[in-house]
Amino acid sequence: MSVATAELDGALAALRKEEVNVALPGLALAYALLVALFVSPAFFHTTWIFALVWVPLGILQYRVVISGHEAVHKTLCFPLWLNELLGVFGQALVGVNFAAYRLQHLDHHRARTLEEDPDGHIYGGIIKTPRGARRIAVWTLGTLVEILVKIRQKGTGGYGTLREQRPDEVRQRRMHTLYVILAQLTIMASAAAVLSQNLGVALVPTSFALAPLAQTAALLVGGYALLWTGPLFTVAVFLNRSRILIEHGLALLINDESPGAISGPRIPTVDIVPNVIERVIFSPFLFNYHCCHHLYMTVPHYNLPKVRALCRAHGVKGYHEVQGSYLSALRRAMSA
């Protein structure tokens, strides 16, 4: 082992050992804002409020989704029991079976080719489509297909890995399925209550005739769509889809243009160094250092900027950084 390699390994080992709960204040704020936006239609009796909160709700839901990624790697927060609690809780809110997500995501890290990658369905179809209007259509409208795949991979079905699962993993996955169902039923009932307050109608009619029952059903379905699944599917899932297209799809396109440009043992990815606004929207928990994360996934997210510095200083094989913003990288991915 060379001196440089020993120095790199020593520095990475030190970064892995650092346990700092830097994510908790921001996550607590995100949940507080999420609740505030969710209940706001009960206090502002106008239908415009649903349009006003739609995108902010989706952005906050996306932040919850990304927090689950950190929890999967056991680096969201410490101690471990708190990491697991917040991982299970947050992912149940966004309809994700945390145990299934962990299995599927670790398969993503093991993948060596697009075909092996369980996330390949997200970016593979886009980059294989001829650029122009057709690629844009697959990128945007393909969100509907992705939602169905996600429900199968990480929703109440709890699938997503081809590996043999241990009995304890199966039991945990089934338990997390119950948490997802319970969370969604609770959100549906809460959204119906908020919608009934906004419209000034009773959530539970005094009569059990067909029309009042239909009213209750409409409140349940309508509130759930307006205040939860609508923003989740159109904003949160689409943000995640676009981010994965940039971080993995663009990497494959770069390798197609210049074979071997991003060399490494597994599926290629890139780092992005965005502006402050893009970092808040696209890459909470420093997700923009995605190449660093794939190279050294056991290093906590808050130490990834230091990993980037080490990769650049030591010329680490497989490290690649794309200059410019997420939007410029997205334009490149759509036009390459």
Q: Give the separation between CA 80 and CA 62, rounded to whole angstroms.
A: 23
Task: Map residue 176 onto helix, strand or coil.
Answer: helix
Q: What share of the chain is helix, strand, coil (3-state, %, to 5)?
A: 70, 0, 30
Is 308 contained in some domain?
A: no
Q: Give the separation between CA 94 and CA 61, rounded to whole angstroms.
A: 7
Beta strand residue intervals within 165-250, DSSP E? none
31: left (phi over 0), alpha (psi -120 to 50) or beta: alpha
Q: Give the separation between CA 55 and CA 58, rounded to whole angstroms.
A: 5
- Least confident segment among 193-197, 207-211, 282-286: 207-211
Phi, psi of 140 (to 5 degrees): -85, -60
Count how many residues are written for the chain.
336
Q: Give the separation between CA 264 and CA 295, rounded to whole angstroms.
A: 9
Is 288 contained in some domain?
A: no
pLDDT (tens digit per residue) in 97-140: 999 999 889 999 999 888 889 899 899 999 999 999 999 999 99
Residues above pLDDT 90, as percent of the chain: 71
Q: Give the separation between CA 296 and CA 261, rounded to whole angstroms.
A: 19
Please report how many Cα atoms fall inside a 13 Å half-sphere around the Cα of residue 317, on the Cβ side: 6
Is 271 contained in some domain?
A: no
- Least confident segment among 83-87, 160-164, 172-176, 289-293: 160-164
Q: How confident is the model at residue 257 (pLDDT cuts 50, 70, 90)?
A: confident
Is 83 contained in some domain?
A: yes
* 36-40 long-range contacts, CB within 8 A, separation 24+: 38/190, 38/191, 38/194, 38/227, 38/228, 39/194
pLDDT of residue 328: 94
CB 193 within 8 A of CB 203: yes
Residues above pLDDT 70, as percent of the chain: 92
Q: In sequence order, what DSSP letters do the residues of 50-108 get, joined into one string?
A: HHHHHHHHHHHHHHHHHHHHHHHTT-SSSSHHHHHHHHHHHHHHTT--HHHHHHHHHHH
Is 322 contained in some domain?
A: no
CB 31 within 8 A of CB 61: no
Owning domain of residue 142? 22-262
Q: Give the separation between CA 15 and CA 73, rounded to whole angstroms.
A: 15
Is 207 contained in some domain?
A: yes
Q: Give the separation between CA 32 and CA 250, rounded to whole angstroms.
A: 35
How many domains would you assign to the chain?
A: 1
Q: What is the pTM of this model?
A: 0.93
Is 69 contained in some domain?
A: yes
Q: How confident is the model at residue 204 (pLDDT cuts 50, 70, 90)?
A: low
Is 268 contained in some domain?
A: no
pLDDT at 151 over 60: yes
Which run of H or E residues covers position 321? strand 321-322
Q: Region 237-255: what's the mean pLDDT? A: 94
Give 1's strand partners. Answer: none
